[in-house]
Amino acid sequence: MDYRYILAIHIIFVVCWFAALFYMVRLFIYATDAQKKDDVARPILTAQLVLMQKKLWYIIGWPGMIGTFVFGSWMLFMNMALLQQPWMWLKLISVALLTVYHLECQRIYKQQSMGQFKFSSFRLRLFNELATVFLVAIVFLVIVKSTSGLLWGILGLIAFAAVLMLCVSIYKKRNAKNSVSAETPVEEKK
């Protein structure tokens, strides 16, 4: 089969894998937030969100990861010279770390499906941004194919991660402020 077709299929699986990772953690956050609802809404929301997690994870997430590995390995087998490139090793390390992230999502999914919500929404939001950091790192390594600008790339990645963390912190503070003002009785607001 032509290398370009393998590459195209590989990219499709990568997109599916990242889509699942991004949305899965959002579902973790929604399920965690659902635990604050009343006794009627909580079990209904939790059951629906855990069902959505299961379908997303096993229909898109795991197949996306497996397809990424199969077609990525196939490409490496077809072009072994890629393994002589330093950028490829950095990409493979990033993919290995992304796989650890995926396995952590699997662990959180299993916990939530058993009714255990161990992480706060804020912590899950921070965790969610980690996938974005991996995406940026992998895309830049693949497109630029250079380690000469690696220092600038790492600095840019750190700056990008810092901006994401700042945005999540601002969101948390704003959300906390809005919930406090919503709880304040009308008479006290005057």
Question: What's the average model confidence in pLDDT over 101-116?
Answer: 98
pLDDT of residue 190: 46
For the stretch 117-164, pLDDT in tens is 999 998 998 899 889 888 888 888 888 887 665 566 667 777 877 887
For the stretch 11-39, pLDDT in tens is 999 999 999 999 999 999 999 999 999 99
Long-range interactions of 159-167: CB distance < 8 A, separation 24+: 160/132, 160/133, 160/136, 161/129, 161/133, 164/129, 164/132, 164/133, 165/126, 165/129
CA distances from 20 to 32, 125, 143, 160 (A): 18, 15, 23, 22
Distance CA 76, CA 182 (A): 56
Distance CA 33, CA 56 (A): 19
For the stretch 45-54, pLDDT in tens is 999 999 999 9
Question: What's the average model confidence in pLDDT over 55-81?
Answer: 97
